[in-house]
Amino acid sequence: MNPRQGESSSFPWPWSPRISRAALNLNNQMRELWEQHGAWTRMAIISIVFGLPDEKFVLRRLLRNPDDFAAALRPFYGQRNARRFDQLLTEHLTIAADLVRAAQAGKAARVAELDRRWHRNASEIAAFFAEINPFWSEKRWIEMLFEHLRQVRMEAVQMLQRNYQGSIDTYDAIETQSLGMADEMTRGIVRQFPRRF
């Protein structure tokens, strides 16, 4: 299962050909949470852009994602840190929804302001990760989160422009990139708490 030299792999532990059941379960959980993050974000964009009657229900489900992440992180990082991540990720999602509404209304200044807040929030998440886990690189997380923002913004713009195929292609990229973030989270946790895995 080890990748050949120079070959990329999404396998989360390239230094070992075997993983424990506990590590695999954690990776599946992280991947599910990031998949849900991307999927419900897309559904929220669609509901907002087209004024669908399910908008408040979709947003409510989307905003459950930070709670679910917090529940997954709590056994490792405690209540206080789990709550902090819940707050940061909730802010990430609410800014995204506000940004789509502002773009739809053609409010360029508001879009620019929200985009600055969105990137500041991503930087705060990256710094928080580096603070609680020595195996999570702040620089690496900034790169990944900024790429995530770029892709989600592109997805929303394409939907607003009725470029449906483009938005689907972008979502495919979001899904792949989100799974990479899930694997990064898993790697860090497994390395930080090896006795649990």
Q: Per-residue pLDDT for 84 more than 60?
A: yes
CA distance 192 to 96: 31
pLDDT value at 77 more than 60: yes
Report pLDDT digits (tens) over 137-194.
999 999 999 999 999 999 999 999 999 999 999 999 999 999 999 999 999 999 999 9
What CA–CA distance (Å, rounded) separates 18 from 143? Answer: 29
Phi, psi of 80 (to 5 degrees): -65, -50
155-162, long-range: CB < 8 A, 24+ apart: 155/42, 155/45, 156/45, 156/49, 156/96, 156/99, 156/100, 156/103, 157/103, 159/45, 159/46, 159/49, 160/49, 160/100, 160/103, 160/104
pLDDT of residue 13: 55
| C-alpha 16 chain-centroid distance | 26
Task: Quote the pLDDT of residue 172.
Answer: 98
% of the chain residues with pLDDT over 70:
91
- Looking at the predicted structure, is the pLDDT value of residue 5 above 50? no
- Both tokens assigned to 51: 């004024």
pLDDT at 18: 76
Give Cα 133 to chain centroid, integer Å.
17
What is the chain's mean pLDDT, rounded? 93
Calculate ∠ Cα 150-157-180, nearest 5°.
30
Mean pLDDT of 101-116: 97
